[in-house]
Amino acid sequence: MTTSPFAYAPAPESVRPVLKPSYGLFIGGKFVEAKSGKRFASINPATEQPIAEVADAGAEDVARAVAAARKAFPKWSKTKPAERAKLLFRIARRIQERSRELAVLESMDGGKPIKESRDDDLPLVVQHFFHHAGWCDKLAYAFAGATPRPIGVCGQIIPWNFPLMMAAWKLAPALACGNTCVLKPAETTPMTALLLAEILAECGLPEGVVNIVTGGPDAGRAITALAGKGVDKVAFTGSTEVGKAIAKAVAGTGAKLTLELGGKSPNIVFADAALDQAVEGVVSGIWFNQGHVCCAGSRLFVEESIHDDFIARLERRMQQLRVGDPLDKNTDVGAINSKAQLDTIRRYLKAGSDEGATKLEVACDLPKKGFWCRPTIFTGVQPSHTVAREEIFGPVLAVMTFRTPEEAVQRANNTTYGLSAGVWTEKAARALEMSNRLTAGVVWLNTFNRFDASAPFGGYRESGFGREGGRQGLSAYVSIGGGR
Partner 1 sequence: MSAAGSARIEVAKTLKLYVNGAFPRSESGRTIPVKDARKRIVAQASHASRKDLRDAVEAANAAQPKWAAATAYNRGQVVYRLAEMLEARRAEFVSLIVSIEGRSKADATREIDRAIDRCVCYAGWTDKIASILGGKQPVAGPYFVFSMPEAMGTVAVVVPDGAQLLAIVSLVLPVIAAGNSAIVIAPIGANAPLAIAFAEAVATSDVPAGIVNVLTGMRSELAPWIASHRDIAGVAGAQLPAAEAAALEAGAAENLKRVALFRDAPKFDDDAFWHSPWAIQPFVEIKTVWHPSAL
- Concerning whether 260 is annotated as a catalytic residue, the answer is yes
3-state secondary structure of 431: helix
- Size of the residue set binding partner 1 (CB under 8 A): 54
Contact between 142 and partner 1 by CB under 8 A: the answer reads no
Beta-strand relationship, 233-237 and 153-157 = parallel
Contact between 429 and partner 1 by CB under 8 A: the answer reads no
Catalytic residue among 13, 106, 187, 260: 260
CB of 258 closer than 8 Å to CB of 412: no
In the window 181-210, what residues touch partner 1 (CB under 8 A)?
A: none
- Would you give the binding string for partner 1 spanning residues 260-299, x where CB under 8 A is met? -x--------------------------------------
Q: Which of 110, 163, 243, 263 binds partner 1 (CB under 8 A)?
A: 243
Catalytic residue among 177, 294, 295, 373: 294
Stretches 65-73, 285-293, 321-329, 471-479: which one binds partner 1 (CB under 8 A)?
A: 471-479
Q: Which of 28, 230, 334, 470 binds partner 1 (CB under 8 A)?
A: 470
**Would you report the helix, strand and coil content of the chain in percent, each value rounded to 5?**
40, 20, 40
Q: Which of 66, 182, 443, 474 binds partner 1 (CB under 8 A)?
A: 443
Q: Using N-to-C axis directions, what is the helix angle for 217-225 and 240-250, rounded to 10°?
A: 30
Residues 6+ positions from 303 with CB-CB distance below 8 Å = 269, 270, 271, 401, 402, 403, 408
Contact between 145 and partner 1 by CB under 8 A: the answer reads yes
Q: How far is the CB of 225 from partner 1 (least distance, A)?
A: 15
109-129 as b/e: b if 16+ CB within 10 A: bbbbbbbbbbebbbbbbbbbb
Q: How far is the CB of 153 from partner 1 (least distance, A)?
A: 16
- For CA atoms 353, 295, 210, 64, give the dihedral sign: negative
CB of 248 closer than 8 Å to CB of 404: no
What sections of 254-365 are H helices per DSSP? 275-287, 307-318, 339-354
- Would you give the binding string for partner 1 spanning residues 38-57, x where CB under 8 A is met? --------------------
Q: Is 170 exposed, middle or buried (0-12, 13-18, 19+ CB in 10 A)?
A: buried
Q: How far is the CB of 463 from partner 1 (least distance, A)?
A: 8
Stretches 2-10, 96-104, 379-387, 428-436: which one binds partner 1 (CB under 8 A)?
A: 428-436
- Concerning whether 154 is annotated as a catalytic residue, the answer is no
Q: Any idea which residues carry the catalytic annotation? A: 260, 294
List of residues contacting partner 1 (CB under 8 A): 127, 143-146, 240, 243-245, 247-248, 250-254, 259, 261, 416, 431-432, 435, 440-447, 450, 452-458, 460-462, 464-465, 467, 470-472, 475, 479-484
